[in-house]
Every structure is written in structure tokens, then in C-alpha cells.
Amino acid sequence: MKIQMLGNRLLNLAIISGLAVACLAATMPAQEKAPPVRVNLLNVCSPSADEQKEISAALTRIPRNPHWGEDFEVARGRSSLAQGSELSSALAAPPSGRGSQTEPASLPIARWTRIRREFPADSPFSNAQYSFSVDAENMVETLVFRLRQPKDLLEVALEDSMSSVTTPAAALAMDTPASRIKLERFGKASIVLARCGAKNPAGPSQTVDQSAFEPLFRSASTLLSVYRNALNARRTVPAELARVGMLVARSARAKTKSH
């Protein structure tokens, strides 16, 4: 009798264990299921009609006659560039014991300066930040407006680029038009409008007609011109970049003497 009771208990325990394992197995796929990956493809050459309206509304909100608060920033620097990349932070030195600790002569560099001004407390925008970078091939201007209380829209960025065949002072005097407009949105994909040239990257046989976007590019170009003046960029940028050049030359001379 005792043997029979023990057997029944063991059988019941086995059944309970089996049910527990089955339940656990049923829940594991849901737990181990990878989170969905969302990929947003931006049509930077031909944004939709709704996206064009959002770009237009965002550009219209930016003040054409800016008044500044008390706070500001002027910064300058020199950054190493990884091959084939945009302006980035300085590259790390090679590990000890694996060659020279000095920077390779062939490593491209960029000089840059940044100007930031704060808007008054009653402005919907918190600040405007202008940056100008120059390397051996290109010069890039970027103007960013950040919202004080971002809801749908976080920031608006305007950009243009030009060849480094001229000086920064001459480039700034030319009032280069904007070639890229970007809206950073909260919880949504960004909206971007960019100059795409004569051909569509989607296919060699598809040409791009961007004539419908000219009012947006003109509005962005006007803003760039206004804020170059408002931030005194035409005087500040060449002077700050010259200081960076002098510091780089001084550092190179000191390094040569140390060897």
C-alpha cells in the first residue's frame, strides 16, 4: 500500500512538473521575441506635400529680426577626420607598443568655430547655434535653432557647403544659399529636404525636378543670410579660424623642437 501511495505521489509530481514545463515553454517565445526594428526611409529629394507644409511652417516660425538674451558662446577648435566621414571628434592615438604616438601626417583635419546666442525667455526658441568648419576640400555652414519647449518639433537645422578653393572670408561674403533643411521631430522620423542635383539617387534614369521646393530653399537661404549678420559671422569666423591655425602651427613647431 505504501509503495502504491508513493508511486501515485511521484506520478502526480511528474504531471505537475510536466505542466509547469509546458507553460514555461509556451511563454518563452513571447519573452524571447526580439523587439521590432523600425526603419525610416527619408525622401530627401522630394518630400511629400504634408512634409513640405511642415518645413514651411517651421521656417516661418524662426524670427527674421532676432533679439538676443544675455548669454552667448564663441568656441573654436581643430578636429581629426576619419577617412570618408564628416567632422568628428579627434581620433584616439594608437595603443602603446604599436607604432608612433604622433598623429599621422596624412590624417585629414578640420578647423571649426561655433557661435551660439540665447533668445530671450519669451521666445519659442531657446537658442541659435551657428558653426563653420573647413577642411582641405570643403567648407560647411550649419545653423541650428532649438525650441524652448519642444513638443512635435525639437530643432530646425539649415546647412550649405562649398569648395575650399577660396578663403572663409570670401565664402561668407558670397552668401552661399542653403542646400539642406532638416526638422528633428519628437517621437517621429526627421524631415529632410536637400539639393539632389540632376539625377535621383533612386535610379540613374530618374531625374529630379525640385522646382516646387525653390520657395523653401529661398526661405532657408534668407534665414542663413539674416543670421550671418545677426551673429556677426563674417567677422568672427575668419578671426577664430586664424587663431586655430596659429595654435596648430605653434603646436607643430613645439613638437618638432621636442624631437
pLDDT per position as a tens digit, 230-249: 999 999 999 999 999 887 66
Query: For cell 509503495, what's the residue?
Result: 3
95 in a structural domain: no
212 in a structural domain: yes
The residue range of the domain holding 241 is 49-90+106-258
Give the pLDDT of residue 52: 97
72 in a structural domain: yes
Give the pLDDT of residue 164: 83
83 in a structural domain: yes
130 in a structural domain: yes
39 in a structural domain: no
According to DSSP, the β-strands at 180-185 and 153-163 are antiparallel
Domain count, the chain: 1
Neighbours of 202 (CB within 10 A): 12
Q: What is the pTM of this model?
A: 0.72
Burial letters 38-73, b for 16+ CB under 10 A, else e: eeeeeebbbbeeebbebbeebbeebbeebeeeeeee
126 in a structural domain: yes
40 in a structural domain: no
Give the pLDDT of residue 23: 52
Alpha helices in the chain (DSSP H): 2-32, 49-61, 168-173, 214-230, 233-258
Residues (pLDDT < 70) of the chain are 1-41, 82-107, 198-207, 248-259
Neighbours of 6 (CB within 10 A): 10
